[in-house]
Structure 1
Amino acid sequence: MNWEERLYLAAHPLAYPLLRGVARRGPVVRVPGVGVVVNDASLARGILMDGETFRKDGPGSPGDLWTPVLGPSVLLNMEGDAHRALRRRLTDLFAPSYTASLCARVLAEPLARLADSLGRGATVDLVDAARVMAGTVIGEVIGLEGGSEAAYRDLFEQGERIVSMVSLRTRRLSPSQVRRAHGVLDPLGDIAAKAYLAGDESTVMGRMRALGLSEDEARGAAGAFFLTGTETVATLVPRLIALLADHGQLRRVAHDLSLHDLSLHDSSLHDFSLLDRAIEEAMRVTTPTPVMLRSVHRPATVGGVAIRPGDRVLIATHNCCRAYGPFDLDRPRPSEPRRLWFGAGPHFCIGYPLAMAQIRLVVRALLAAGPLVISRRSAARGVLIPTYRYLAVRAERAGT
């Protein structure tokens, strides 16, 4: 059993075998108590592109889960004209040039400390380091000022506790879960509102005000960014390094970066180095969004299966992506699974440039520190997105 399977089994000891078992039943399978499960990337992409039939704002959809917590207008629970109008206003919020500058600025000190630790031969827990850096960036996004490492670590853990309330069978959060989520998100909303009212257009919240969003919309968006913008990066970085190490590719990717002579502060989305290929391949294998939910609003047929209004569709993104084989940097991949974990069409993740900017910066810094050796690791339990509980690494040249 490889480590990726261990991570999934540790996180979901019952649901993961069920999910993988359903993949063997066909491209579309109706599972009692779960919904209509889609295991094919092409069919999944078609569903994500059809916002009229398959919606995010009906029974069993993400709207059912998150509207009581985030409010009615946060993109991830909207469809139709209202969704298109809000998304148009947010189109330039995370432009590549802005996200590159933001990440380079706020991650400069954490990355310098990380490089220094590895350079001195210290063993570093990449899980903790990635959480602190993800918390640092999202803290900047929502307007948190003067946070310490402990504060950013706590910020991440609070978000993790909210997201971990959700399982494959969860349709709605209970009243007590909603109260717990508000206990975390309301103070963050107050921070975001303060930054919004200050109107500084160098900040994300200030830019939202300039784009014409209301204070309530900005608060909701801050909550959504907080819930969706930390775990993707924090879980991916350790898993990417582990995949490269386990497949003997760490030195190769580091050497390719040195040949490209890329600055650690260049997070352009147009970087087509081997690192970009490694990030894409790691995301395909790890699938940061293992499942996606939609509610059916009109009759349809998907993969030969009739689907009725009111049905809950569960896109098994992990099954869709893993169908194309194990981690392999040299095997050509078709277009069907490409970035499916970020969605498709009108709901493609608006924070994609921000996530990629963070991942590139952190991974480049790690690879520049020298050949890394994994000395210890353990899988996390009780989490929604599978991850390591810790992944201890050291720079090989510093330890010899």
Structure 2
Amino acid sequence: MNWAVLDWEQRLYLTTHPFAYPLLRGLARRGPVVRVPGVGVVVSEASLARRVLMDGETFRKDGPGSPGDLWTPVLGPSVLLNMEGEGHRALRRRLTELFTPAYSDALCARVLAGPLADLAGRLAAGAEVDLVDTMRLMAGAVIGEVIGLETGGEAAYRHLFEQGERIVSMISLRTRRLSPDQVARAREVLDPLGDIAAKSYAAGDESTVMGRMRALGLSEDEARGAAGAFFLTGTETVATLVPRLVALLHDAGLLDAVAADRSRLDPAIDEAMRVTTPTPVMLRSVHRETDVGGVPVRPGDRVLIATHNCCRAYGPFDPDRPQPPELRRLWFGAGPHFCIGYPLAMAEIRLVAGTLLDAAPLTITGRAAARGVLIPTYRTLTVRRMR
């Protein structure tokens, strides 16, 4: 592999998934929808992917080969990740009120005030800062607040992040279900966190996320399951995005421009998410006969939405280019399963990115790709303020 001719995003994907990633990209060249024996029907076109995601009756998350196969043994039967139908709609209606933009902004501002002040101080002093380690701390602090962790501190927050990473790293792009041993290892992590969430839920303090879940009418089991789902799906997504956002802006020569005009930050975040695609694939199980892009599918078929292919079809990183409507944050899902944690993720990303941009001009002083993870990311990415 001639690493010199690859951009850093390609390097990250190839380091993390050296065999699956070339296969995934190769399928995009075969056509918008391809049936692959042993894998399923692979969708690599955004408008078709959106059609699948919007039709929760035909393409479901609770059948064979779906996310339910992965997460039900770990999280139980009643979390949004593995539900469909009226039960899913009822739970989602209650949870949607949980992370409003105003509440998410206030939660992140309160929880991250100290870590952000420390980050700003270190950058102002001219110190090198590893954004990977910084984001582990930030993401751990926010998810700790969500599940009701009473005693924090940097060591506790980093440990919390590492616990989630242990579970997610068991999964590859080819994983259909966890083995009994993997389920047991995941439960070793999640059961104590569920106990923390249940204690916060029982206290009923509506200033906490778990207390708000109780006030919204969720049962204790639903609150525990939701806390586990937030822990697994939200922590790494945010933590991996910020270093990659900074790297993309740096490599495109746009860091100073976005620092000078903050109206460009949200488009830059959306564009970074399109290019990095924090959810590179999504799974659905077919429940009734139909077709996808002219390819017939039958009940029991597995549909693999190659979100990364859908997103990368629109070219290299360019935050000044408007994204077409069929994308519309496809990396967060669409329709009945659009990520309800989106406002919380954006609040956290904006705050950390804003603090970094306040220290501009910045330069990257070193970086290396991570191995043994599910979401491609940097092992280290160090930045320093330029004098």
TM-score after normalising by structure 2? 0.98
1:319 is aligned, of 280, 300, 309, to: 309
Task: Confirm whether residue 346 of structure 1 aligns to residue 336 of structure 2.
Answer: yes
Where does residue 263 of structure 1 map in the other structure?
none
Task: Confirm whether residue 131 of structure 1 aligns to residue 121 of structure 2.
Answer: no
1:394 is aligned, of 379, 384, 387, to: 384
SS in 2 for 1:238: helix
AA paired with 1:322?
Answer: R
Give matches, 1:1-400, under 5 Å: 1-257=6-262, 273-397=263-387
AA paired with 2:142?
Answer: V
Q: CA deviation at 1:161?
A: 1.4
Deviates more, 1:149-158 or 1:182-191: 149-158
Where does residue 266 of structure 1 map in the other structure?
none
Q: CA deviation at 1:332?
A: 2.6
Q: CA deviation at 1:337?
A: 1.3
* Structure 1 CA distance for aligned equivalents of residues 386 and 289 of structure 2: 58
SS in 2 for 1:313: strand
SS in 2 for 1:230: helix
Q: CA deviation at 1:392?
A: 0.6
Deviation per CA, 1:96-131, whole angstroms, max 9, x where unpaired?
110000000000000000001111111000000011
AA paired with 2:255?
Answer: L
Q: CA deviation at 1:330?
A: 2.1
* Structure 1 CA distance for aligned equivalents of residues 219 and 323 of structure 2: 42
AA paired with 1:154?
Answer: H
Which 4+ runs in 1 deviate beyond 3 A? none
Q: CA deviation at 1:89?
A: 1.1
Deviation per CA, 1:360-386, whole angstroms, max 9, x where unpaired?
000000000121110000000111000
Query: Are the counterparts in 2 of residues 34 and 168 from structure 1 also a CA contact under 8 Å?
Result: no
Q: CA deviation at 1:165?
A: 1.0
Q: CA deviation at 1:148?
A: 1.4
Q: CA deviation at 1:154?
A: 1.2
Q: CA deviation at 1:331?
A: 2.0
Q: Which consecutive residues of structure 1, in runs of 5 or more, have no partner in the other structure?
A: 258-272
Query: Are the counterparts in 1 of residues 267 and 320 from structure 2 also a CA contact under 8 Å?
Result: no
* Structure 1 CA distance for aligned equivalents of residues 15 and 168 of structure 2: 16
* Structure 1 CA distance for aligned equivalents of residues 361 and 16 of structure 2: 29
Q: CA deviation at 1:149?
A: 0.8
Deviation per CA, 1:60-88, whole angstroms, max 9, x where unpaired?
00011000000111111000000001111
* Structure 2 CA distance for aligned equivalents of residues 276 and 323 of structure 1: 21
* Structure 1 CA distance for aligned equivalents of residues 73 and 43 of structure 2: 27
AA paired with 1:11?
Answer: T
* Structure 2 CA distance for aligned equivalents of residues 331 and 121 of structure 1: 34
* Structure 1 CA distance for aligned equivalents of residues 361 and 279 of structure 2: 29
Q: CA deviation at 1:333?
A: 2.2
Q: Pairwise CA RMSD of aligned residues?
A: 0.7
Q: CA deviation at 1:329?
A: 1.9
Q: CA deviation at 1:191?
A: 0.3
* Structure 2 CA distance for aligned equivalents of residues 70 and 93 of structure 1: 20
* Structure 2 CA distance for aligned equivalents of residues 214 and 332 of structure 1: 42
Query: How many equivalent residue pairs?
Result: 382
Query: Are the counterparts in 2 of residues 45 and 336 from structure 1 also a CA contact under 8 Å?
Result: yes
SS in 1 for 2:368: strand
Q: Which consecutive residues of structure 2, in runs of 5 or more, have no partner in the other structure?
A: 1-5
Q: CA deviation at 1:150?
A: 1.3
* Structure 2 CA distance for aligned equivalents of residues 111 and 332 of structure 1: 31
Deviation per CA, 1:201-224, whole angstroms, max 9, x where unpaired?
000000001111111111110000
* Structure 1 CA distance for aligned equivalents of residues 63 and 141 of structure 2: 34
Query: Are the counterparts in 1 of residues 164 and 231 from structure 2 also a CA contact under 8 Å?
Result: yes
